[in-house]
Amino acid sequence: MGDILVKQLKYTEAMDYYQQTLKMSEKFYSAGHVNIAVILNQISDLLLQQDKYDEATDYCQRALKIRGKLYPSDHPNMAISLINIGMILECQRKYDEAMGYYQQALKIIEKFYPSGHTDTVLTLNRIGYVFSQQKKYDESMDYYQRALKMMEKFYPFDHAYTAVTLNKIGCISLDQKKYDKAMDYFQRH
């Protein structure tokens, strides 16, 4: 229900729903139950969409703390919270800090999931984006290329992730003044 309200941009109603769900879950489950962490992440995501970074961070840190008690530090569920914190930091242009969280998450994801898994591709793209914002174009290109190779192997040609990655690589090529290369990537999607 909350997700539907978010998609309809009814943020106040969505927050009310998530807060009610959180209160009920805290009564029904133990304080460290995984469902509470999931709800905390949903609230954090909603706050992030509203540019309420400090509040989003608080909820995300609470979710990470719960997951840290339930799972080993290298469990895939830990990666979810790490990525979410990285996204908040990225939106605040705290790129070095965001990169640390993304790199941690990527290590976990690559350990547990097969090559081409959606979480792997998305995390590679996030790292590529952060490097591009830092004007570290060669590093950015490396991560985008890794993601693109996986997508070309495991995703349909017209997949949205592929188009986004091709566009990002094209933009980096433009920034590097490699115009022919940029044109090639732009024409591929």
Whole-angstrom Cα distance, residue 185 to residue 167? 7
Question: 111 burial class (0-12, 13-18, 19+ CB within 10 angstroms)?
Answer: exposed
pLDDT at 71 over 80: yes
More confident residue, 116 or 61: 61
More confident residue, 117 or 140: 140
pLDDT at 115 over 80: yes
* Cα of 47 vs its chain's centroid, Å: 15
Q: What is the pTM of this model?
A: 0.88
Question: Which residue segments constitute the domains of the chain, with CATH numbers given?
Answer: 1-102 (1.25.40.10), 113-189 (1.25.40.10)
pLDDT of residue 7: 83
Whole-angstrom Cα distance, residue 174 to residue 172? 5
pLDDT at 154 over 80: yes
Amino acid at 171: C
Spell out the residues 6+ positions from residue 177 whose beta carbon is closer than 8 angstroms to its own: none
Whether the CA torsion 69, 71, 77, 80 is positive or negative: it is positive
Mean per-residue pLDDT over the chain, rounded: 93
pLDDT at 92 over 90: yes
